[in-house]
Structure 1
Amino acid sequence: MELVASDLACARGGVAVLEGVGFTLRPGQALVLRGPNGIGKTTLLRTVAGLQPPVEGRVSVPPEGVAYAAHADGLKATLTAAENLRFWAAVYGTGPAAVERALERMNLMALRDRAAQNLSAGQKRRLGLARLLVTGRPVWVLDEPTVSLDAASVAVFAGMVRAHLADGGSALIATHIDLGLTEAAELDLTPFRAVPRATGAFDEAFA
C-alpha cells in the first residue's frame, strides 16, 4: 500500500509550521523524519495519520491502512499484557496468532500474564509497540517510538520494523535515535519550515 503526501502544509494551534512537504512511501520502505525539536514532526505525523486535516495539500492512503503509535502506550492498566493485545486484536479484527506473534517479537512472553500497571516504563513501551503487530495495517506512522527503551529493546524494535518492511509493510518514523535501518531514507523537515501565520483553525498537535 502506497502513501503519498503532496504539497502538505500543517498547522499546530492554528499556526502553520510546515509547508510544501511531499514524499512517497512505498511497500517495503521506511522514511525517517529529521529536524530540530518543535519543527513539526508530530504535527506532520498526525496529519498523515488522519488525526488532523492539512492546511493545504493532501495525503493519499486508505484510512484503514495506517497504524499510528505516539507517546502514549494505549494500555489498559488492569489487563495483562496478553489481554491488552487481545483487546486490540478484537478492535482490528485480527486473531490469536497475531497476539502470540506480537508477544514473541517484542520479548513479552514471560510477561504475558502480568498486569500492565505492574510493568516498568520500558516494558509498557514494548507492549505498546507490540500493538502495531495486531493491527494488521501495512503503514506504520511512529512518533519517537523508542522513548523509555534500553539499547537491547531498541534493537528488538528495529528488528520488528525490519521484518515489517520485509513483509511488504512501510514505516514513517520521527526519531532522534539511530535505529540501524540502513535501508531507510531520511527527510529533513528544516527546508519546509513555514513562515508563522494564523490559519484560522485550531488543533491539539504537539511537536
Structure 2
Amino acid sequence: MGLRVENLSVARGGVPLLTGVGFDLAPGKALILRGPNGSGKTTLLRTIAGLQPLLEGRVHCSEDAIAYAAHSDGLKASLTVAENLQFWAEVFGTSDIDVALTRFDLLTLADRPAHALSAGQKRRLGLARLMVTGRPIWVLDEPTVSLDQASVARFAENVKTHLAGGGMALLATHIDLGLEAPVLDVGVFKADPTSSIGGFDEEFL
C-alpha cells in the first residue's frame, strides 16, 4: 500500500497555511516538495507523519508505515553511534544495524559518542535511523542540512536503494538529489490566513 493524501488542510500557530493538498505516492516512487521558507512544508510533513492534527482531509497509509526525519537528529549524546542505532532498532523491532552503519559511512565511528561527532556526522547518524525502522515511507524535512557534497550523494543513493526495494520517499528539499521524482509546489495550496479554524487544537502530539 502506498500513501494517499486527500483534500488535506494544515495550520501553524492557529493560522491556516495550506488547504486542499492532495497526491498519491506509490511503492517505489518519490515526491519532492518545494516552496519558500514559511510556506508550510514542515507543517505539512509533520501532519502527514501524524505529529500534529490536521484541519480537514485524510491521510491514507498502512499503520506504522511512516518514518519521519526532521531538522533534529534525535540522538542521545551519551551513547555511541552504534548504541544510538541499536536503541532505535529495538524501538522499531528490528535488529541489524550493520547495513545502516555501512551505507552512511559510519563504521569507523561506531564506538564514538554522539556528542563527539561533527554536525555532518550527526546528520548522517540521524538519517541512518531510517534504515533500522523497517518502515516503507520515508518523510524527510530538508534531510541534507549539514551534509557535505559526498554525504549528499551517499544519501541520495540510499534513497534510490530504498525506492528500488519498493519503499517510498516524500522529501522537502531545495537540493537536486538526482531522483526521478515529480515536484509538488506547496504554494498552489496556500490557504487564506484570515479564514477561521474553529476549535482546532494545534498542540503537537
Report SS of the residue matched to 1:44.
helix
Residue 90 of structure 1: aligned partner: 90
Distance 2:71 2:58 in 1: 25
Residue 203 of structure 1: aligned partner: 202
Q: 1:186 to 1:204 in 2, by over 3 A?
A: farther
Do the aligned partners of 1:5 and 1:60 also contact (CA within 8 Å) in 2?
yes
Which runs of 5 or more structure 1 residues have no equivalent in the other structure? Answer: none
Residue 169 of structure 2: aligned partner: 171
Which runs of 5 or more structure 2 residues have no equivalent in the other structure? Answer: none
Identity within the alignment, %: 65
How far the C-alpha of 1:204 sits from its partner, in A, is 5.7
Report SS of the residue matched to 1:77.
coil
Which amino acid is 1:201 matched to? F
Residue 141 of structure 1: aligned partner: 139
Residue 182 of structure 2: aligned partner: 185
Residue 110 of structure 2: aligned partner: 112
Which amino acid is 1:131 matched to? R
Do the aligned partners of 1:9 and 1:16 also contact (CA within 8 Å) in 2?
yes
Do the aligned partners of 1:50 and 1:63 also contact (CA within 8 Å) in 2?
no
Do the aligned partners of 1:94 and 1:136 also contact (CA within 8 Å) in 2?
yes
Alignment equivalent of 1:124, drawn from 122, 125, 139: 122
How far the C-alpha of 1:202 sits from its partner, in A, is 4.3
RMSD: 1.1
Q: Where do 1:43-82 residues align within 5 Å? A: 43-82=43-82
Distance 2:159 2:7 in 1: 27
Distance 1:123 1:203 in 2: 33
Do the aligned partners of 1:13 and 1:204 also contact (CA within 8 Å) in 2?
no
Which amino acid is 1:139 matched to? I
How far the C-alpha of 1:65 sits from its partner, in A, is 0.4
Distance 1:62 1:13 in 2: 29
Per-residue CA distance 1:1-39 (angstroms, 9 max, x = gap): 310000111111111100010000010000000111111
| TM-score, reference length from structure 2 | 0.96
| TM-score, reference length from structure 1 | 0.95
